[in-house]
Amino acid sequence: KILFLHGDRIPESKEFNSAKTIVIGHEHPAITLTEGIKHEKFKCFVKGKYEKKTLIVLPSFNSTLEGQDLLKGKLLSPFLHQDLSEFELWLVADKTYFFGKMKEIEGFN
């Protein structure tokens, strides 16, 4: 069972409790890559676990909103207030690229 949520709060419902996969927006993840003086921000999908459920975080679909850099600032969604080191990143550019786990990204604490 897949449950789509905004992601700004963790619901208390039987639908949430029985879901195997949770898909959220709200955070609109992105990551900034740096090479020398060049900085480029990429929207990304994030996949990990919340409790024992698969959690998928969607990037912004708005072309003018890049999203929240996962390496900078405080994350908004309570689903992401946990250790993200095992979460997978999928960067969005001309196509979607698997980029590895958060723990493999330089600058991740």
- Asked if the model's pLDDT at residue 71 lies above 70, the reply is yes
Q: How far apart are CA 5 and CA 78, in angstroms?
A: 12
Q: Which two tokens stand for residue 18?
A: 């029985």
Residue range 18-54, pLDDT digits in tens: 999 999 999 999 998 888 899 889 999 999 999 999 9
Q: How confident is the model at residue 108 (pLDDT cuts 50, 70, 90)?
A: low
Q: How far apart are CA 14 and CA 80, in angstroms?
A: 21
Per-residue pLDDT, 109: 58
Regarding pTM above 0.75, the answer is yes
Per-residue pLDDT, 25: 93
Q: Within 10 A of 67 (CB to CB), how many other CB atoms are there? A: 20
Q: How confident is the model at residue 73 (pLDDT cuts 50, 70, 90)?
A: confident
